[in-house]
Chain A
Amino acid sequence: MNCSVITFPGSNCDHDAIFAAELAGWKVKNVWHEERILPIGTDLIILPGGFSYGDYLRCGAIARFSPIMHDVVKFAEKGGYIIGICNGFQILTETKLLPGVLLRNNNLMFRCKDVSIRVTNNKTAFTNKYVENEVITLPIAHGDGNYYADEEVINELEGEDRVVFRYSDENGNITEDANPNGSINNIAGIINGQGNVLGMMPHPERYSDKTLSSDAGLKMFLGILE
């Protein structure tokens, strides 16, 4: 199975994503954003974290117009699997492959720490290796992770069980204290209606090997392989 990790100018988690995907068993190609066509046989795309185009204008706004994104959108429309992590999530919302937007953290702080995340939907292609409502610890590192969408979109996401991860306390309680950025309903990750595009602010790739202190994120890259 083939995975393409896209590198934009300013991406800085691309090598972590390549490392994690290879560890999970993917054959990985690193794709520069100026390419116009994805490698033949791509089964999974990872849009990695970082600060594409220096976060100019809005996070992810300029990356949307990188040459490779035309093929990425076509890939998504054909049902191809995409994971957007952190800046990758922001790029997915700007590209409209996912609804909503990531606002500045409500506390104005750049949050860089481990947080507890509850897997609120384990019936996706990405999260099927987790137990339902499993609480895992993953790192976050962002200044703009405050998920916002209008009421109609939030109701749709909640009604269709498309909130995949929520910030929680270590026992899985969804509390205001556990919310690091002000996201509506503690949303940490969502999936599109077709179930093939997932965006999340926490970094599973950074916790993919026990020598990096945890491999809690590795299952994210294992689920789609089956």
Chain B
Amino acid sequence: MNKYSAEVRIVLRNGILDAQGKAIENSLRSLEFSQLTNVKVGKIISLQVEAADDESAKKIVDNASKELLANTIIEDYFITLNKIE
């Protein structure tokens, strides 16, 4: 068995109102960071996974993302995987 560290980055899908991102963008504008636009807020979930190989590690994290970590009606998720040992 191999051990992997994984990160699942979850963001709201394009077209879904990101109210937090909007509020942050407005605050940035009031601080005169007006060159910063399109602010989006997401979350990163880091975890470790034991699996036989890269492919099955990714599959486990992908299933967990679909099942619980992200709500695919409104969110997209991206997985990065690194072998630890």
Contact = CB atoms under 8 A, between A and B. Distances in A.
A101 B73 contact: yes
B17 A103 contact: yes
B37 interface: no
B20 A103 contact: no
Contact of A106 (B17, B71, B73): B17
Contacts of B22: 108
B2 to A, nearest CB: 27
Contacts of B68: 57, 61, 65
B74 A104 contact: no
Interface SS majority for chain A: loop
A29 interface: no
Contact of B20 (A108, A146, A148, A149): A108
Given A103-B16, A103-B17, A108 B73 contact: no
B11 interface: no
Given A103-B17, A108-B19, A182-B17, A61 B73 contact: no
A51 to B, nearest CB: 17
A61 B19 contact: no
Contact of B71 (A61, A104, A150): A61
B19 A101 contact: no
Nearest to A150: B73
A148 B19 contact: no
B23 interface: yes
B74 A101 contact: yes
B69 interface: yes
B69 A57 contact: yes
A204 to B, nearest CB: 26
The residue in A103, A146, A148 that gathers the most chain B C-beta atoms within 10 A of its C-beta is A103
B17 to A, nearest CB: 6
Interface in B30-85: 68-69, 71, 73-74
A100 B73 CA distance: 7
Interface in A101-151: 101, 103-108, 146, 148-150
Contacts of B73: 100-101, 148-150
Interface string B1-30: 000000000000000110110110000000
Interface of B: 16-17, 19-20, 22-23, 68-69, 71, 73-74
14 contacts: A57-B68, A57-B69, A65-B68, A103-B16, A103-B17, A103-B74, A104-B19, A107-B19, A108-B19, A108-B20, A148-B73, A149-B73, A150-B73, A182-B19
Closest 10 CB pairs of A and B: A104-B19, A108-B19, A101-B73, A108-B23, A101-B74, A106-B19, A106-B17, A101-B71, A58-B71, A148-B74
